[in-house]
Structure 1
Amino acid sequence: MAKSALQKEIERYVGETLHTPVRLSAMENVRQLPIYLTSDYQFYDVLLGNRKLVFMIRKDDAGTPAEIRKHLSQAQSKLFVSVVFVTERLTAKNRSRLIKDAIPFVVPGNQLYIPELALDLREHFRAQKVKAGEALTPVAQAVLFRHLLGIRKRDVTASDIAGNLNYTPMSIGRAIDVLTDLGLATSDKVGRERHIHFELEGEALFERAKPLLRSPVRSLRYLTGAERFPNFRLAGESALAKLTPLNPPDVKHFAASLAYWNEIQETEDVAEVDPEEAEAILEIWSYDPAPLARKMTVDSLSLYAQFMGHPDERIAMATDELLGTLNW
């Protein structure tokens, strides 16, 4: 049976938010549920990391929080697995009530709240750890990682960095402003050139910056034939598995900038497909992964920023182990 637009949107939204493939499969044994539940909801098995959940999708209006709580409890008592309420629309008042009562829910494109997995996501995974304006911008993070990875001279100019990271000097200038405003660096002008100086070095600098990091992944593309493109570096769980003892995922993950992806779409016969048909998953990054990358994989610092605090214990352990391999 073909997937509905809502099913595809749920897979896309949850997958992009958690940076991991998500597949909804219709629950086979729905006869164990009361008829009044199956008439109002659709039930789907979902695997997030190594955790199995059931998504209970409302067919029409969302209902009252009391009704949702009652139906969720009844479904869980029959299924013996965690159940998550899903709806296309939810008022701010009802959303607050569900959060107050710790009722897990997903509103595709708006919010994902699963307290059992410590997930409260309104935009991107971990985005709520710092207040607006207190996180590194993508360009500032790339500049910081360039320095920490040793792709630098001791004192470098905005022009030097711009040429290496494929940005304009003006963009790098704004990134330097962010780094100085957050107390990670200072800058001065020598003639017409702006120089940046980091306050700390190595692990001490990284530890200071850690609360300000953001995942570089902005969206996912499900593809066939991605291995034909040489500028795609292994990314996501595939890169983590390459660099740590983590078992690799069934489908390889790669990374590229949005500009490179747009270029490929114009010149190559590459197909986007539904998640279950994908031969590869392409992560579109908010900065170009190529200048910072290893030969085979994306850089370790960006990989750490992607998975830091991940709810899957296997991935969280591998991420911490990855950090231990760095030579500061």
Structure 2
Amino acid sequence: MTLDKIPVIVIEDISAITRRRLIQKTINFIVPGKQLFLPTLLLLATDQLRKEKKPTKALLPSAQVILLYRILKRHEGFDNLPMKKIAARLKYTGAAISKAADNLRQHNLCELKGTKEKFIHFPQPVPELWHHALPLLTNPVIKKVYVDILPKNVVLMKSNTSALPEYSEVSESKQQFRAIERNTYYDLEKKGALLNANPYEGDYCLEVWKYDPTILVGDATENTYVYPLSLFLSLKDRRDERIEQALEKIITDHIW
């Protein structure tokens, strides 16, 4: 018969030799008022903490993309899309979408529904969802690299202050900015296709993104602008009154 209990020896006094042997054999014991040795409980507690993984402070890049896609498709029945269709549209594997959906659920942003077919349901209206999610959303830009010539045969959308004129009254900056997905960037770097790449200056600034900037805009070309809410996230920490006003307009137009 199994009692499912952890045995602990309680003894009023103990010799040094006996104590050493109990410790060597990792046997739980207590000497009231003097010593407590409970390695089994410590291991169980440690194992439980490992199992109960806390959600990360920020959303996974894939989870961020799903949330932005939900806002983009607010009037197009997002909640009726099976997860496998979302995966196809956002160019993620089924496993990646499942992990992203669970990340959103851990942060109480969505509910997972369905049995055979799984659906991601966002119960909050878009303004509330955005307000709740904003502290968890991160700048999609990993780093910036300057080049004098853009690489060929790659779709590089306008970003940063090169994209702001599309969504606000801000004039386009002299510095040209383009967004590029990180795997594409590192592949070009490996092939030596980025001429004169450096972290300081150049005719073009390539913003290396955590996720593919093209997946939220449909058929992207070199004249396409990055999705406005991704643009907002890439610039929200800039302390420039002109940019801050432009970002306020983006939120007014695309959240409210």
Instruction: Give the structure-2-normalised TM-score.
Output: 0.69
- Kindly indicate whether residue 111 of structure 2 is the aligned counterpart of residue 183 of structure 1: no
- Kindly indicate whether residue 158 of structure 2 is the aligned counterpart of residue 234 of structure 1: yes
- Residue in 1 that maps onto 2:25: none
**1:250 positional shift:** 1.4
Instruction: Find 2:230's aligned residue among 302, 305, 308.
Output: 302
State, as a whole percentage, how many aligned pairs show the same letter.
Answer: 27
- Residue in 1 that maps onto 2:94: 169
**1:162 positional shift:** 1.5
Aligned 8 A contact 2:55 2:107 in 1: no
Q: Tell me the distance in 2 between the aligned counterparts of 1:274 and 1:153.
A: 41
Q: Tell me the distance in 2 between the aligned counterparts of 1:146 and 1:175.
A: 13
SS class of match (1:290): coil
Of structures 1 and 2, the larger Rg is shown by 2
Instruction: Find 1:140's aligned residue among 63, 67, 70.
Output: 63
**1:146 positional shift:** 0.8
Q: Which amino acid aligns with 1:163?
A: A
Relative to structure 1, the CA distance from residue 199 to residue 297 in structure 2 (aligned partners, 3 Å threshold; closer, same or farther) is same
**1:185 positional shift:** 0.4
Q: Tell me the distance in 2 between the aligned counterparts of 1:327 and 1:182.
A: 20
**1:152 positional shift:** 6.0
Instruction: Find 1:216's aligned residue among 132, 140, 148.
Output: 140
- Residue in 2 that maps onto 1:320: 248
Structure 2: stretches of 5+ with no match in the other structure:
1-53
SS class of match (2:186): helix
Q: Which amino acid aligns with 1:313?
A: E
Q: Which amino acid aligns with 2:254?
A: L
Aligned 8 A contact 2:55 2:106 in 1: no
Q: Tell me the distance in 2 between the aligned counterparts of 1:189 and 1:132.
A: 23
Q: Which amino acid aligns with 1:175?
A: A
Which structure ranks higher in relative contact order (CA pairs < 8 Å, sequence separation ≥ 6)?
2
Q: Tell me the distance in 1 between the aligned counterparts of 2:186 and 2:197.
A: 16
Structure 1: stretches of 5+ with no match in the other structure:
1-130
Instruction: Give the structure-1-normalised TM-score.
Output: 0.55
Aligned 8 A contact 1:254 1:283 in 2: yes
SS class of match (2:98): helix
Q: Tell me the distance in 2 between the aligned counterparts of 1:132 and 1:252.
A: 37
- Residue in 1 that maps onto 2:130: 206
Relative to structure 1, the CA distance from residue 272 to residue 186 in structure 2 (aligned partners, 3 Å threshold; closer, same or farther) is farther
